[in-house]
Amino acid sequence: MHAAMSHSVDPIGYLHSCFKEKFAIPRQPQLAPAARGVLELVAPYDRAEAIQGLEQVSHVWLLFLFHQALEDKPRLKVRPPRLGGNASLGVFASRATHRPNGIGQSVVKLERVEPGRLWLSGIDLLDGTPVLDIKPYVPYADSVAEARNAIADAAPARVTVAWEQSALQQAQEHGLRLNEPLPELIEQCLAQDPRPAYQIPQPERRYGVLLWDVQVRWHYPEPGRILVLEVVPG
Ligand code: SAM
User: Using one digit for the tens of pLDDT, what is the confidence trace for 176-225?
Assistant: 999 999 999 999 999 999 987 777 889 999 999 999 999 999 999 998 89
Mean pLDDT of the chain: 95
Domain boundary among 83, 109, 142: 142
CA of 194 to the centre of ligand 1 (A): 13
Calpha distance 34→189 (Å, rounded): 9
Q: Over 90: is that where the pLDDT of 33 sits?
A: yes
Same domain, residue pair 81 and 134: yes
Structural domains of the chain, count: 2
Q: Report, as an integer, the average pLDDT of 37-51.
A: 98
The rounded distance, in Å, linking the Cα atoms of 134 and 53 is 13
In a domain, 55, yes or no: yes
Query: What's the gap in Å between 125 CA and the centre of ligand 1?
Result: 6
Domain presence at residue 152: no
Looking at the fold, whether 107 and 198 belong to one and the same domain comes out as no
Residue 202 lies in a domain: yes
CATH classification of the domain holding 220: 3.30.2310.20
Residue to probe by mutation, ligand 1, list 95, 124, 188, 190, most atoms within 8 Å of CB:
124
- Considering the domain architecture, whether residues 78 and 50 belong to the same structural domain is answered as yes
φ, ψ for residue 39, nearest 5 deg: -90, 115
Q: Print the domain residue range for 225.
A: 160-233
Q: Work out the number of other CB atoms within 10 angstroms of the CB of residue 31.
A: 18
How far is ligand 1, taken at its centre, from the CA of residue 124, in Å?
Answer: 6
**Do 79 and 131 sit in the same domain of this protein?**
yes
**pLDDT tens per residue across span 101-125:** 999 999 999 999 999 999 999 999 9
Both 50 and 111 in one domain: the answer is yes
Q: Looking at residue 229, what is its pLDDT?
A: 98
- For residue 32, is pLDDT > 80? yes
Spatial distance between the Cα atoms of 131 and 11, rounded to a whole number of angstroms: 5
Distance CA 216, CA 234 (A): 8
Is 43 a domain residue? yes
What is the position in ligand 1's atom list of the atom closest to the CA of 17?
20
pTM of the model: 0.95
How many other C-beta atoms are found inside a 10 Å radius of the C-beta of residue 162? 14
Query: Tell me, what's the pLDDT at 1?
Result: 67
Q: Please give the number of the atom of ligand 1 that sits closest to the Cα of 81.
A: 9
Question: How does pLDDT run across 55-79, given as a tens digit for each residue?
Answer: 999 999 999 999 999 998 989 999 8
- Measured from CB, residues less than 6 Å from any atom of ligand 1 are 22, 25, 27-29, 66-69, 95-97, 104-106, 124-126, 129
| CB 96 within 8 Å of CB 80 | yes
pLDDT of residue 83: 76
**Residue to mutate (ligand 1; options 20, 22, 133; most atoms within 8 A of CB):** 22
pLDDT band at 147 (very low <50, low <70, confident <90, very high): very high
**Residue among 15, 19, 97, 209 whose CB has most ligand 1 atoms within 8 A, to mutate:** 97
Taking the centre of ligand 1 as the mean of its atom positions, its distance from the CA of residue 71, in whole angstroms, is 14
pLDDT digits (tens, 9 = 90+) for 81-102: 777 777 899 999 999 999 999 9
The proportion of the chain whose per-residue pLDDT surpasses 90, expressed as a percent, equals 85
Residue 200: partners with Cβ closer than 8 Å, 6 or more residues away: 223
Q: Is residue 204 part of a domain?
A: yes
Q: How confident is the model at residue 149 (pLDDT cuts 50, 70, 90)?
A: very high
